[in-house]
Amino acid sequence: MDIGKDKPLSGRISRRKLLGGAATAAVVLVQTATGKAFQAGVSVAELDDPTKIPGVLPGTVGTRSSFEQPVKKPSPTSSRTPLQDLYGTLTPSDLHYERHHGGVPAIDPAKFELVIHGMVERPMVFTLADLKRFPSVSRLAFLECSGNYRGANDGKITPQDICGLTSQSEWTGVALSTLFREVGVSEKATWFLAEGGDAAVMTRSVPMSKGWKDAIIAYAQNGEAVRPEQGYPARLFLPGWEGNTSIKWIRRIEISDQPFMTREETSKYTEQVGPAKIRQFSFTMDARSIITYPSYPARVEKGWIEIRGIAWSGRGKISRVEVSTDAGKSWHLAALQEPVLDKSLTAFRYLWQWNGGPTEIMSRAVDETGYVQPFYKQLLAARGGNMGYHFNPVTAWYLQSDGQVLFRST
């Protein structure tokens, strides 16, 4: 059967439409194992029938299809994960959000050292090889910057703009509790300092209880060495806590019986929670969710739509996600993708038939502690205008009658 370029595949969908529309002229640059590029600059319409020519030979590293180009959105201080372009819950490592206060340092793994000292029996220096000799642990968990905030906007903002400082990886390394035992941490210790070896020499104080419970010194991310942007060759990873406590390029841990009141713990990383109340050491990330499809810049057609999104909570597991398709008047339970993991992104979906009338759709996450994701107006009432940190409001999407989806505040 001839499925020629412009002949319809079915009554409704032509091949061109499937490939992204007649205007598509993707540049296909395929690098072979021997480094020879071919099919460079070929437009979709000119692509040869793939069943008539041999394909590309196996290579040394895989590539992303040239038809798929999800990218992080950089600013001088961070770059955001394109949540609207992703599926499931695992963030491809090269799309993990980045936040660094002094740029990405180049660290020779052979020279890497982690010092643990202070209130310990045996101050010690660990090389990367030392860390890898200890029993290892792996866990899937999200990381979110506590400054995961959206700016003023005209409704034309994506999930990436709204909360793209959220990503998820499988982190592998040594449990910090293992190292605590190795150095013989004093029973009187209550806090430790984590210090990075980047130009910012970023430091944060962390309660010992978190260190004992589930802290990891991670040297791997999604099955390979941690990426430079994520802290190569090793970082602290604190599941469910504000991203800034997961010190990258970790080089020193000092054990103490009080917090260190570092630069980041005075002017930064404190937030207003009432007219005359400031919160400090607000480590846990609250529950949040967002519908990633449909979302801006998508345009949808009337009929069945699978509303899809992600939900997460630093307090534990997501217990339910509720979806509203009538601007919050009524709510329905979304289906959660199993397994629902502790402090992990959880995918949800809700099948809905859109009649084409303008409406607002939104999602609301509830976690296992009973915490309910607030509306923007509730956050505003509780905090006043000062909302840069720990910002987790319900996000609404407005569906215009022409199918265009736009951001709406709640």
* Binding region for ligand MTE (CB under 6 A): 96-101, 143, 145, 196, 198, 200, 202, 229-230, 243-244, 246-249
Count of chain residues binding Mo ion (CB under 5 A): 4
Which of 194, 192, 211 minimizes the C-alpha distance to 202? 194
Say which entry of ligand MTE, Mo ion, none residue 311 contacts (CB below 5 to 8 A, set by partner kind): none
3-class secondary-structure state, position 387: coil
Q: Helix, strand, or coil here: 63? A: coil
From candidates 96, 99, 315, 364, binder to Mo ion by CB under 5 A: 99
The one of ligand MTE, Mo ion, none whose footprint includes residue 98, by CB under 5 to 8 A per kind, is ligand MTE
The yes or no reply on residue 390 touching Mo ion (CB under 5 A) is no
Q: Residue 107: which of 203, 252, 201, 234 has the closest Cα?
A: 234
H/E/C letters for each residue in 169-202?
EEEEEEEHHHHHHHHCECCCCCEEEEEECCCCCC
Partner from ligand MTE, Mo ion, none binding residue 202, C-beta < 5-8 Å depending on class: ligand MTE
CB of 279 to ligand MTE, least distance (A): 17
> What size, in residues, is the chain?
410
166 vs 214: CA distance, rounded Å: 20
Query: Is the backbone peptide bond immediately before 275 cis, with ω within 30 degrees of 0?
Result: no
Secondary structure (3-state) at 209: helix
CA–CA separation, 113 and 128 (whole Å) = 7
* 395 in Cβ contact with 362 (< 8 Å): yes
| Spatial distance between the Cα atoms of 246 and 225, rounded to a whole number of angstroms | 17
For the bound state, the minimum distance from the C-beta of residue 243 to Mo ion, rounded and expressed in Å, comes to 4
Question: Does residue 145 bind Mo ion (CB under 5 A)?
Answer: yes
Q: How far is it, in rounded angstroms, from Cα 73 to Cα 232? A: 21
Residue 56 CB, nearest approach to ligand MTE (Å): 32
216 within 8 A of 237, measured Cβ to Cβ: yes
Task: Tell me which of ligand MTE, Mo ion, none is bound by residue 101, counting a contact when its beta carbon lies within the kind-specific cut-off of 5 to 8 angstroms.
Answer: ligand MTE
Q: Is 157 in the site for Mo ion (CB under 5 A)?
A: no
Q: Minimum distance from CB of 316 to ligand MTE (Å)? A: 20
Residues ≥6 apart with Cβ < 8 Å to 308:
291, 292, 293, 347, 348, 349
Q: How far is the CB of 78 from Mo ion (least distance, A)?
A: 7
Give me the least distance between CB of 70 and ligand MTE, in Å please.
16
CB of 234 to Mo ion, least distance (A): 19
284 makes contact, choosing from Mo ion, ligand MTE, none, with CB < 5 to 8 Å by partner type, with: none
Residues within window 334-363 making contact with Mo ion, judged by CB under 5 A: none
C-alpha angle 405-307-145 in degrees, rounded to nearest 5:
80
Considering the rule CB under 5 A, would residue 163 count as an interface residue with Mo ion? no
Selection from ligand MTE, Mo ion, none that 322 binds (CB < 5 to 8 A by kind) is none
Binding to Mo ion (CB under 5 A): which residues in 216-245?
Answer: 243-244
Only segment of 138-146, 193-201, 205-213, 222-230 that touches Mo ion (CB under 5 A): 138-146
Give the integer Cα–Cα distance in Å for 393 and 315. Answer: 16
- 70 vs 403, which CB is nearer to ligand MTE? 70
Residue 332: alpha-carbon gap to chain centroid: 26
Residue 400 token pair: 């215009």
Residue with Cβ nearer Mo ion (60 or 267): 267
Residue nearest to Mo ion (CB): 145
**166, 143 contact by CB (below 8 A):** yes
Q: How far is the CB of 204 from ligand MTE (least distance, A)?
A: 8
Cβ-based nearer residue to ligand MTE, 105 or 207 = 105
**Under the rule (CB under 5 A), what is the footprint of Mo ion?**
99, 145, 243-244
